[in-house]
Amino acid sequence: MDKGKKIKAIAIDGPAGSGKSTIAKLLANELGYLFFDTGGMYRAVTWEALCRNIPIDDQARVTSLAENVQIDVRAPTVDDGRSSDVLADGKDITWDIRRPEVDENVSIVSAYPGVRKALTAQQRRIGLRGNVVMAGRDIGTVVLPDAELKIYLDASVEERARRRFLERQSRGEMVDFDEILEMMHRRDSIDSTREVAPLCAAEDAVVIDTERKSISQILDYIMSLVNTSLVV
């Protein structure tokens, strides 16, 4: 942590279901910062590829899509439980990107170097404007390596699958725990072994095990880090 400077950007990384989005959103609210969920961008490209019948394994076409589709992640304009609006070429796809078929394919799409290059550039531009809490897999390592505070959230794969199961169930979806657990294992493996920007904690990240900790405990701890690293 970089003490003595005002925090302009906070990077929150971690695997699927580690609580990144929940924590990052609350933290951004508390600080009056923008919450930016970078996973939404990879999901948006995946959803658009599925809609346009572009085969997910066609790296060249998926990459060209990522370079050309206009994705916007902005503060929510609809009060329906969303934490951001996600638009692709002006079309609201906020809930579509949470569909199971996106979950199943997004790790493949986000492993394509050209897709990462296109989206990382956009994320960095937003991050460098400051006053942002950015959540993802490679924010502290690649997108914003100079972020003043880097957090890496973690939990066991079983716990993360349980959270995803409950989240889906609360949305009224028919869900099977074993299927979710298997998908988590698959996504973890693709996200952490890909060649470009694999999921890992930055050397200077504060690693927090979120298992058996409440959201407010985690938030209080991060706020104490924010407060001790403010201007001295």
Contacting positions for ligand DC (CB under 6 A): 16, 38-39, 42-43, 106-107, 110, 136-139, 187, 191
Smallest distance from the beta carbon of 39 to ligand DC, in angstroms?
Answer: 2
Whose Cβ is closer to ligand DC: residue 43's or residue 163's? 43
Whose Cβ is closer to ligand DC: residue 111's or residue 222's? 111
Smallest distance from the beta carbon of 124 to ligand DC, in angstroms?
Answer: 11
Whose Cβ is closer to ligand DC: residue 42's or residue 47's? 42
Q: How far is it, in rounded angstroms, from Cα 214 to Cα 12?
A: 17
| Tokens matching residue 192 | 């952490």
Q: How far is it, in rounded angstroms, from Cα 172 to Cα 164?
A: 13
Whose Cβ is closer to ligand DC: residue 33's or residue 47's? 47
Please spell the DSSP secondary structure of 115-175, one letter per residue: HHHHHHHHHHHHHHTSSEEEEESSIIIII-TT-SEEEEEE--HHHHHHHHHHHHHHTT---
Smallest distance from the beta carbon of 227 to ligand DC, in angstroms?
Answer: 26
Smallest distance from the beta carbon of 73 to ligand DC, in angstroms?
Answer: 11
Entry field: residues in the chain = 232
